[in-house]
Structure 1
Amino acid sequence: MKLVWATLSTALLITACSNNADTDTTAEQASEKGWQTTFFDDFETFNTDNWQDQILWVNNEDQCYVRDGAFDTREVSNGTLKLRVVDLGQKRPCDNMNKAGEQHPDTQYVAGRIASKNKQEFVQGKWTARLRVPNSGQPGMFPAWWLLGAYNNEPPVQEADETVCWPMTGSGELDIFEHHSDGGPNHYAARIIKNEGHCGGGDWQSQMLVQEATLDKFHEYSVEWMNNDVIFRLDDVEVYRIKDEGHLLPEPFFAILNFAKINDSPMTSNWTMEVDWVKHETWVE
C-alpha cells in the first residue's frame, strides 16, 4: 500500500527520518521550521531503493527505452547520473508498449528513463533536481524532470491501486523541467497539466511557463506546494506561480527523469542529461 499524507506533522517527519533518534536530536528537529529533507540522492551509485527503469511507449516518441543502462543509456559516474539517447546506427526491435497495448516499431534510437515509482513517493512538499543538458536545441531533443501521480495505470503496474488514467486525480502531472527542441536552445518549460475531467484529457498550454536558462550549466529546478499555491523555481528564485490550485493535486507523486527523442531527425552529437542530485523536502511549521 502507498503511504498517503494529507498533512505531515513535525512528529511524523521525525519518525520517518529517524526512528532511533535520541531525545535531544528529536527536540532539536521539532524546534526547526522550514524545509526539512525527506529524501536525497546524490548519485554516488544507482540506488535501486530509490529508482527503477520505466519501460513504456508514450507521446509517439521515436526512441526505445531500455533497461539497466543498456547501450550506455544510463550511467552513474563521478557523482552524477547521465541519461542519454543513443543512435545505434541501424533499427532494432523494441519491446516498449503504449497504453493501447501496441508495440513500438523498430528503431535505431535507445534511451534511459528512470522513476521513483513505489520507491520514493510523497504528497506535496518540494521537489528539486540539479541538472544540465549540453548541446540543447537539437531537433528532436526532449529531456525532462517531472512528477506523476502514484496511482497512474501506466507500466510498471505493481500495486492493486495503480488504476487511475492520466491526468485524472491520482495520476496528475507536473513538469518541472522539460526542454522541447522546437523552441531552440537554452529554454525549458514548467507546467501543471490541467485535468479536463476525462482520461487522456490534459491541457498542456494554459498553465505553462517557458523560461530561458543556460542549459549546459548546472541549475536547480524545483516545484513546491505552499499555502495552496504551486510554485516553480530556478536556482531557488520563483519564476512561476499557479495560485489556489495546490489542492487539485493531493495525491502522492513519484519523480521521473528521462531523455526522449520526439521525431526522426538525425542526431548530430551525443545527447546527455546530467543530474547531480534529486531531493524532496517537507515544510515544517
Structure 2
Amino acid sequence: MRRAGAEKAGHAVNRRALLLGAAALGGSVLIPACGTEKKPLVGPPPVSPPASPTPLTEAVTVQKMRSAARNRDVNLVIIAPDGASRVGLPVCVALHGRGADARTFLDLGVQNALNQVVAAGLPGFAVAAVDGDNYWVDVGKGDDPQRMLTDELPGWLAQRELRPPSAMFGISMGGFGALRYARDHKDLKAVAVASAALFVSWPDAKSRKVFADRAQWEANEPLLHAGELSASSTGVWCGTSDPFAGADRKLIKALDPAVAKISPGEHNEAYWRGILPEAMKFVGERIA
C-alpha cells in the first residue's frame, strides 16, 4: 500500500499525482431565528483536520478533474469496499459541508462503513465525492455545482467503469445540495442527509451571504419543496445539540422520511462518524 505524504504549502500539484488529506467539515452554522427581526447566531467553528488521514489504496483514490460547470479544477474522490473490483459498481455521491472539500470524506470511516455493508450481505457500492460550494446550487457566480453533478460527474464515473449516480449522501451544506439534487433526479434510490444545513426563514439564509436574493433562496430551499422529495428513499440524521436540529425536525415533519433519527450529538466529525455506518447501510439496502 502506498501512502501519500503531506504536501508543502504552495507546492504545485502534479495532475497525475493522487492527493491525500482531509479538510474540515461543515464550517460555521446558524441557529434558526425565532422571528424575522432576530439576527441569526453563529454556530460552532469548523472541525480541525484529522491527524492521521486515511491512506490511499487501489480502492481509495483522489484525482484532479477540470469542471467547466464550476470553471475550476476539482477533487474527485472515489472510495470502494476493501478488496472489491470497482468495475460496474453503483455509486453514491457524497457532498461535503461548507468550507471543506471532497477529501474530507477520506477520514470519516467511509471505507469501513462500506466494508460493513458488504459483510452484512448487502450489495457493494462506491462513494464518489467532488468539490462544491454555494450550498451546491447556482447562485449566479459562474459556478454551478448542480450542473457539474448532472452533466459532468456521470462521465467521470464512466471513465472509471463505474455506474451513474443512483444515491446521494450529504453532510451539512452537502445535505442542502443532496436534497436539491434529488428534486431534479426522481430516479435516485436513496438520499441520506446528516446535519442538513436548512433554513427556516430568509433572514437565516441571507446571513450566509450566498444567495443573491430571497427569490433565489426560495427556489432552492429544501424545506420549501418537501413535496418534491421521495419519503421512501430519504433518510435524515441530526444531533440533538446541532444548531440545525430545529430545521431538520421541520423537514422530518413535512416529509415523513423512511428514516428520521434525532439522536445525541453536535455538528461535528464525531457525530458524523457515528451515524455513517447506519447511513451507508440505508443506502446499501436501496441502491441495488
TM-score with structure 1 setting the length: 0.25
Structure with a larger share of its residues in helix: 2
Name the structure with the higher strand share.
Answer: 1
Larger RCO of the pair (alpha carbons < 8 Å, separation 6+): 1
Taking structure 2 as the reference length, what is the TM-score of the superposition? 0.24
